A = this chain, B = another copy of it.
Amino acid sequence: MSKHQKEMGVLKEHLGKHQLKYTRQRELILDAFLKQEHITAEEMYHQLARKDPHLGLATIYRTLNLFCEAGLAQARHFGTQTQYDNISHKGHHDHLICTDCGKIVEFENCDIERLQEEVATRNGFTIKTHRLELYGLCSRCRH
């Protein structure tokens, strides 16, 4: 029995609903993905090269995008490459990013979210999504 029973269930349900198939590659990528908070396709490509040297980069991109559609992942554009954020066991959140060491801290702040809604309403907008990223130095890198 796998460690990631619940998430595998979510994926299989999505696959079933869309006439998609459960493959060895998808299982492999899901396992690797659920071990991280954020990961890029390239990072995963290198990690998995040990387990399966023939796994293609395109397959990793395709599969991570599939996870986004299944609600397990969310694509974030922090730096130059897309980070796939493991949201399987957590709700909406935003990020603090250290520009020196790359450390990423997740946070949630209801007050900020509420004020965002106020701003939107005042301007006649209905918010669908948002991105809030705070860039700076973490405590280690400040010294």
A residues whose Cβ falls under 8 Å from a Cβ of B: 77, 96, 98-99, 105, 107, 109, 111-112, 115-116, 119-120, 123-139, 142
User: Cβ of A96: which chain B residues have Cβ within 8 Å of it?
Assistant: 119-120, 123, 125
A77 to B131, CA, bound (A): 12
Instruction: Tell me the nearest residue of chain B to A105, going by C-beta.
Output: B123
Copies per assembly = 2
CA distance A129 to B128 in the complex (A): 24
A126 and B126 CA atoms in complex are apart in Å by 31
* A-B contacts, 21 listed (Cβ < 8 Å): A96-B125, A99-B128, A105-B125, A112-B112, A112-B115, A115-B115, A116-B134, A119-B134, A120-B134, A120-B136, A123-B138, A124-B138, A124-B139, A125-B134, A125-B138, A126-B137, A126-B142, A127-B135, A127-B136, A130-B132, A130-B135
Interface centre among A112, A123, A134 (most CB of B within 10 A): A134
Choose one: B109, B112, B129; the contact of A135 (CB below 8 Å).
B129
Structural contact, B111 and A115, CB atoms closer than 8 A: yes
Does B137 contact A128, Cβ atoms closer than 8 Å?
Answer: yes
| Nearest-neighbor residue (CB-CB) of A138 within chain B | B125
